[in-house]
């Protein structure tokens, strides 16, 4: 039995609503990267060590990634607008708390609350797009969502560098306060109150998913720090990872057997495009996160660029990605997604292979900017088609659940990318520069000239990993089927994208 089709009411203005949501989404993504630039200042000011300050970012990402399945489902139950506003409020208050802290422990705790706020907000942005835009116009809307993700990767490090240099590290958090207030007022006024769907809350599923994802993500994040061995007492990195996988397997078994209403409706994965888009976005999350580490370390340790100047290398990517977004958005509503997403993912893989070939201690900067520009083309063609294809056919009452799954896979991909590239960089450094093993990855300023070639080779070789992983995403994109709304006669309106379930 198909769920009732949910028509957009005439008084809903989808584009103003989307712009209001994008402001908050942009702030969330910027905060995922902005802290990296402030790490040295936080180390010095709070009198801590690298092991502790890493948790300023890890705590945020962990609190962001783990609850996404729950917050996506909760948005369907209480309404995406209400949950978005609650998350934005928590995020903004926690940001001020971060700036006011005077100890590393309190900063980490405040970042956990910031991550929880972000987790409440993110699925709602995709769910609202799915519910207020007709299926045949959703691509243009998702292109703005995707362009926001691409540009935020550039703005975070640059904005962080400017604020840290000019006002102090606290201001990377304080700046969220006025943006959060503006975002709250805009969302409150412009985002419509959408009908809610009565859902029973799967408490067993909530517990299993939380424990499983926490053990898996925490284990991966802590792997490199503890050399993939013991963390404390009998608890080991691999023990946590295996326990997480086992609990997730039990969670999936429970979701299949649950005769009521599961937290994760496995029927979502009956839609071929939803499953394939989740596979592809996992590889994108992996690659984009992984690529930044060797590139930024090369720029700073070999070329001697400041964090802000290093981030400026990504300007071509952001400019091209933003310029392509409206064009790709229009194409997304008219063109088979396999061609757009496949082209974007292939460009992304090629750009990283290309970077791995040109990185040398004395290479001209313009030779680095060419593959980075191609990465901008890739970003322009990846995000909108993947996000739109994942949600295009979802029943309206499962829009939040689908958005939660999609964003969870993206975040888990990012965590895997972060851990995977760290392991590979350490391995290549051990092979190329054994005397420097374990020191340059934590950042040691510009290296002596004798070490720059070996370090450059290590970073270049590390970039092959994300390039290779993206090829899995290319295959997934090429297997996309034609969206159902494209099969409808031109005279028949494609109002909702709902499919029979």
CA atoms within 13 A on the CB side of 482: 6
Contact (CB, 8 A) for 407 and 127: no
CA atoms within 13 A on the CB side of 466: 38
What secondary structure does DSSP assign to 261-293, as a single string?
--SS-GGGGGSHHHHHHHHHHHHHHHHHHHHHH
Contact (CB, 8 A) for 108 and 470: no
CB atoms within 10 A of CB 364: 9
Contact (CB, 8 A) for 495 and 5: yes
CA–CA separation, 367 and 294 (whole Å): 17
CA-based angle 70:76:82, to the nearest 5?
Answer: 95
pLDDT score of 198: 67
What secondary structure does DSSP assign to 213-224, as a single string?
HHHHHHHHHHHT
Which three-class secondary structure state does DSSP give residue 235?
strand
Please, what sign has the CA dihedral across residues 14, 17, 18, 19? positive
Which pLDDT tens digit goes with each residue over 437-460?
544 444 445 778 888 899 999 999
Can you give the pTM of this predicted structure? 0.79
CA–CA separation, 194 and 177 (whole Å): 27
471, two tokens: 């090829």
CA–CA separation, 246 and 21 (whole Å): 36
Q: How many helices (H) and strands (E) does the chain have?
A: 18, 2
What is each CA distance from 98 to 176, 179, 364, in whole angstroms? 11, 15, 40
CA–CA separation, 361 and 433 (whole Å): 15
Contact (CB, 8 A) for 398 and 199: no
Which three-class secondary structure state does DSSP give residue 101?
coil
pLDDT score of 209: 85
Question: In 46-175, which ranges are continuous DSSP H helix?
Answer: 50-65, 68-78, 80-100, 104-132, 138-166, 171-174
CA–CA separation, 438 and 350 (whole Å): 29
Please, what sign has the CA dihedral across residues 239, 33, 36, 67? negative
pLDDT score of 476: 96
CA–CA separation, 433 and 461 (whole Å): 13
Q: Which of the residues in the chain have pLDDT under 50? A: 1-10, 438-444, 490-501
Which three-class secondary structure state does DSSP give residue 230?
strand
146, two tokens: 């995707």
Contact (CB, 8 A) for 319 and 162: no
Strand (E) or helix (H) holding 236: strand 235-236
117, two tokens: 């706020």
Question: Strand 230-232 and strand 235-236: pairing?
Answer: antiparallel
Burial label for 292, CB within 10 Å (0-12, 13-18, 19+), is buried
* Chain length of the chain: 501
What is each CA distance from 416 to 111, 138, 241, 380, 465, in whole angstroms? 21, 30, 12, 23, 12
Q: SS3 for 27-62, per residue?
A: HHHHHHHHHHHHHHHHHHHCCCCHHHHHHHHHHHHH
Which residues partner with 232 through β-bridges? 235
Contact (CB, 8 A) for 498 and 395: yes
CA–CA separation, 450 and 453 (whole Å): 7
Smallest Cα–Cα separation from 296: which of 470, 418, 169? 418
């Amino acid at each position: 039995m198909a769920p009732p089709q949910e028509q957009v009411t005439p008084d809903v203005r989808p584009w103003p609503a989307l712009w209001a949501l994008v402001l908050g989404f942009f702030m969330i993504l910027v905060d995922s990267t902005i802290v990296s630039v402030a790490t040295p200042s936080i180390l010095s000011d709070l009198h801590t060590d690298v092991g502790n300050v890493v948790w300023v970012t890890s705590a945020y990402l962990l609190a962001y990634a783990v609850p996404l399945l729950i917050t996506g489902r909760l948005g369907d139950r209480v309404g995406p607008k209400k949950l978005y506003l609650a998350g934005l409020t928590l995020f903004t208050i926690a940001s001020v708390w971060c700036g006011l802290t005077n100890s590393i422990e309190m900063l980490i705790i405040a970042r956990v609350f910031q991550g929880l706020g972000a987790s409440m907000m993110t699925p709602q942005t995709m769910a609202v797009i799915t519910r207020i835009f007709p299926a045949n116009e959703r691509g243009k809307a998702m292109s703005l969502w995707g362009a926001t993700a691409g540009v935020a990767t550039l703005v975070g490090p640059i904005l962080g560098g400017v604020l840290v240099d000019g006002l102090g590290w606290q201001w990377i958090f304080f700046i969220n306060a006025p943006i959060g207030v503006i975002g709250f007022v805009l969302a409150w006024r412009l985002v419509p109150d959408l009908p809610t769907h009565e859902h029973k809350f799967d408490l067993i599923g909530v517990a299993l998913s939380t424990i499983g994802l926490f053990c898996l993500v925490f284990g991966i994040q802590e792997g490199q720090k503890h050399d993939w061995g013991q963390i404390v007492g009998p608890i080991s990195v691999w023990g946590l990872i295996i326990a997480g996988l086992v609990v997730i397997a039990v969670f999936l078994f429970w979701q299949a057997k649950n005769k009521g209403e599961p937290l994760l409706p496995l029927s979502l994965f009956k839609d071929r495009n939803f499953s394939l888009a989740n596979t592809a976005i996992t590889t994108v999350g992996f690659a984009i996160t992984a690529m930044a580490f060797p590139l930024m370390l090369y720029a700073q340790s070999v070329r001697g660029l400041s964090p802000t100047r290093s981030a400026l290398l990504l300007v071509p990517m952001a400019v091209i990605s933003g310029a392509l977004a409206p064009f790709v958005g229009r194409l997304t509503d008219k063109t088979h997604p396999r061609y757009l997403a496949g082209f974007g993912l292939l460009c992304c893989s090629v750009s990283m292979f290309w970077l791995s070939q040109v990185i040398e201690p004395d290479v001209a900067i313009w030779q680095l900017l060419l593959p980075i520009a191609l990465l901008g083309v890739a970003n322009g063609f990846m995000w909108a088609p993947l996000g739109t294809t994942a949600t295009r056919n979802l029943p309206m009452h499962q829009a939040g659940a689908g958005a939660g799954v999609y964003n969870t896979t993206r975040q888990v991909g990012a965590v895997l990318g972060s851990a995977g590239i760290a392991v590979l960089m350490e391995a290549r450094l051990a092979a190329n520069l054994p005397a420097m093993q374990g020191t340059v990855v934590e950042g040691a300023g510009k290296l002596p000239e004798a070490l720059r070639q070996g370090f450059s080779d290590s970073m270049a070789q590390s970039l092959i990993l994300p390039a290779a992983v993206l090829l899995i995403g290319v295959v997934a994109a090429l297997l996309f089927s034609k969206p159902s709304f494209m099969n409808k006669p031109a005279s028949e309106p494609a109002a909702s994208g709902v499919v029979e379930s």
